[in-house]
């Protein structure tokens, strides 16, 4: 079995995997990082979004082996010193979640947006979040939260 090494939320990990092991399964099952969700498993919904070397990707459509040597950040890696990340705080403040299933992927995707575009317009936010589905909120408060986080940052 192949061995993979990567840095996940700042910690170095080395594990044996199968070639076919998906990054999301590696995170959830081998590292017990269950904040990253699996919604569709068909690269549509974005519940599984994590950062690979700083860029948002769908971890259900990436092999763990492809992340060899990479820096991976999951939703568990955003808060620091007991303080929510500004995007997490904005989601809380603006009631940008109901059931919360889409939230980890939404937040990871939105954080990547602000890295590319510090003050996006409403249209740019909605276009960027095209790959993140929410079945509860109607997106309205999610967009408000991202706007708030961008103004605040």
Partner 1 sequence: MYNFNYHRPLSVDEAVALAGGAPEGRLLAGGQTLIPTLKQRLANPTDLIDLGEIAELKQLSTEADGGTLVVGAMCSHASVAASDMVRAAIPALAHLADGIGDAQVRNLGTIGGSIANNDPAADYPAALVGLGASVRSNHREIAAEEFFTGMFETALEPAEVISSVAFPVPSKAGYAKFANPASRYAIVGVFVSQGGDGVRVAVTGAGPSVFRVPAMEQALASNFSADALEGIAVDAGALNADLHASAEYRAHLVGVMAKRAVAAAG
Ligand X SMILES: Cc1cc2nc3c(=O)[nH]c(=O)nc-3n(C[C@H](O)[C@H](O)[C@H](O)COP(=O)(O)OP(=O)(O)OC[C@H]3O[C@@H](n4cnc5c(N)ncnc54)[C@H](O)[C@@H]3O)c2cc1C
Residues making contact with ligand X (CB under 6 A): 43-44
* Contact by Cβ (8 Å): 56, 112: yes
**Distance between alpha carbon 4 and the CA centroid of its chain, in Å?**
21
Count of residues interacting with ligand FES (CB under 6 A): 22
Binding mask 85-104 for ligand FES (x = CB under 6 A): ------------xxxxxx--
Task: Give the number of C-alpha atoms closer than 13 A to the C-alpha of residue 8, restricted to the C-beta side.
Answer: 24
* Contact by Cβ (8 Å): 140, 95: no
* Smallest separation, CB 37 to ligand FES (Å): 7
* Contact by Cβ (8 Å): 114, 147: no
* Smallest separation, CB 119 to partner 1 (Å): 17
Q: Quick check: 64 binds ligand FES (CB under 6 A)?
A: no
Q: Which residues of this protein are in contact with ligand FES, per CB under 6 A?
A: 38-41, 43-48, 58, 60, 97-102, 134-137
């Amino acid at each position: 079995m192949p061995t993979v090494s990567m840095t996940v939320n700042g910690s170095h990990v080395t594990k044996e995997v199968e070639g076919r092991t998906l990054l999301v399964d590696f995170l959830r099952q081998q590292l017990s990082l269950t904040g990253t969700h699996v919604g569709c498993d068909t690269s549509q919904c974005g519940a599984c979004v994590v950062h690979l070397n700083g860029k948002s990707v769908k971890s259900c459509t990436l092999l763990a082996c492809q992340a060899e040597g990479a820096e991976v950040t999951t939703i568990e890696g955003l808060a620091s010193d007991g303080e929510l990340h500004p995007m997490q705080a904005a989601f809380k403040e603006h009631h940008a979640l109901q059931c919360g299933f889409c939230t980890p992927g939404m937040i990871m995707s939105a954080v990547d947006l602000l890295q590319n575009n510090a003050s996006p317009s409403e249209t740019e936010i909605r276009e960027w979040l095209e790959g993140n589905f929410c079945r509860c909120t109607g997106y309205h408060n999610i967009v408000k939260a991202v706007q708030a986080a961008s103004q605040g940052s």
